[in-house]
């Protein structure tokens, strides 16, 4: 192992588990060509895994061999390093809420950045560019409800949907109701019907 490779691995081991490593962050160790070559050799040797253009991760050593970080850990690192908003896609949100038993074949995340695909070993992870309204309420239950209902489509205001919406805290339902000002009209209709299953002139916002 060359001196540059050795120094890259020394510094990579000090980074948090699941951290994304970029050759440009190691240019203090040598020329861009030398650093790129060192990363390529480390990837061929299994010390690092290339997950996307200019992005690598270090596998975790375990008693059963080396294990890659989870998709959730990697996208969290992407969000932290780029400032993007990244959230699970609608299918994952719907599954997590119990609205579908269908398990997504490929992990899909919505992002405020550019669309791209990552490769974690044999697993492909899709980051799909999404409009701001679909990224509303990141990492909140009410945000997951919005994304799940968008994925399910208009006409799916079932008892299961109403039950999930009713399980929200009053302030969460209020935030979801107010978010309808920015979502497409079809989705707004599904959400408000779930919040107010029997619309009437006397219907009011849930008490916050």
> Looking at the structure, do residues 85 and 186 belong to the same domain, yes or no?
yes
Tokens 């890659």 belong to residue = 68
Alpha carbon distance 20, 54 (integer Å)? 9
Q: Do 112 and 158 sit in the same domain of this protein?
A: yes
- CA 127 to CA 116: how far, in whole Å? 5
pLDDT, one tens digit per residue, over 107-121 is: 999 999 999 999 888
Same domain, 48 and 9: yes
How many domains, the chain? 2
Residue range 37-60, pLDDT digits in tens:
999 999 988 899 898 888 899 888
170 and 77 in a single domain? The answer is yes
Mean residue pLDDT of the chain comes to: 87
Would the pLDDT of 200 be above 60? no
Would you say residue 96 has pLDDT above 50? Answer: yes
The verdict on residue 207 lying in a domain is no
Classify strands 86-88 and 108-111 as parallel, antiparallel or unpaired.
antiparallel
- Mean pLDDT in residue range 195-202: 63
Work out the average pLDDT over 162-179: 93
Q: How confident is the model at residue 206 (pLDDT cuts 50, 70, 90)?
A: low
Domain containing residue 52:
3-67
Go through 165-177 and write b for each residue having 16 or more CB atoms within 10 A of its CB, e for each that does not: beebeeebbbbbb
Q: In this predicted structure, which of 28-32, 160-164, 171-175, 203-207 has the lowest mean pLDDT?
A: 203-207
Q: Final residue of a domain: which of 46, 67, 88?
A: 67
pTM greater than 0.85 (yes/no): no
Q: Which residue has the higher pLDDT, 202 or 161?
A: 161
Least confident residue range of 1-15, 88-102, 193-207: 193-207
More confident residue, 199 or 183: 183
Give the span between the Cα atoms of 145 and 137, in whole angstroms.
Answer: 10
CB atoms within 10 A of CB 178: 10
Q: Are 83 and 158 in a shared domain?
A: yes
Which two tokens mark 136?
């509303």
Please, which pLDDT band fits residue 1 given cuts at 50, 70 and 90? low
192-198 contact pairs (CB < 8 A, 24+): 193/157, 194/149, 194/157, 194/161, 194/162, 194/164, 194/165, 195/165, 197/162
Residue 132, helix vs strand vs coil: helix
**Residue 203: pLDDT band with limits 50, 70, 90:** very low
Tell me which residue has tokens 């209709």.
189
Q: Are residues 40 and 53 in the same domain?
A: yes
Helix (H) or strand (E) holding 51: strand 49-52
């Amino acid at each position: 192992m060359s001196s540059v490779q050795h120094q890259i691995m020394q510094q990579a081991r000090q980074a948090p588990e699941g951290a994304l490593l970029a050759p440009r962050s190691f240019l203090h160790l040598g020329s861009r060509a030398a650093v790129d070559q060192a990363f390529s050799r480390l990837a061929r040797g299994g010390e690092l895994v290339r997950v996307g253009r200019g992005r690598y991760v270090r596998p975790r050593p375990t008693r059963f061999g080396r294990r890659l970080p989870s998709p959730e850990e990697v996208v969290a690192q992407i969000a932290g390093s780029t400032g993007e908003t990244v959230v699970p896609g609608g299918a994952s949100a719907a599954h997590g809420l119990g609205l579908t038993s269908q398990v997504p074949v490929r992990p899909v995340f919505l992002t405020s950045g550019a669309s791209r695909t990552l490769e974690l070993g044999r697993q492909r992870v899709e980051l799909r560019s999404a409009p701001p309204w679909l990224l509303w309420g990141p990492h909140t239950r009410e945000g997951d409800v919005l994304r799940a209902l968008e994925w399910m489509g208009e006409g799916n205001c079932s008892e299961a949907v109403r039950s999930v919406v009713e399980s929200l805290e009053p302030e969460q339902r209020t935030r979801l109701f107010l978010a309808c000002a920015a979502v497409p009209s079809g989705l707004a209709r599904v959400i408000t019907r779930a919040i107010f299953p029997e619309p009437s002139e006397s219907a009011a916002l849930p008490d916050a």
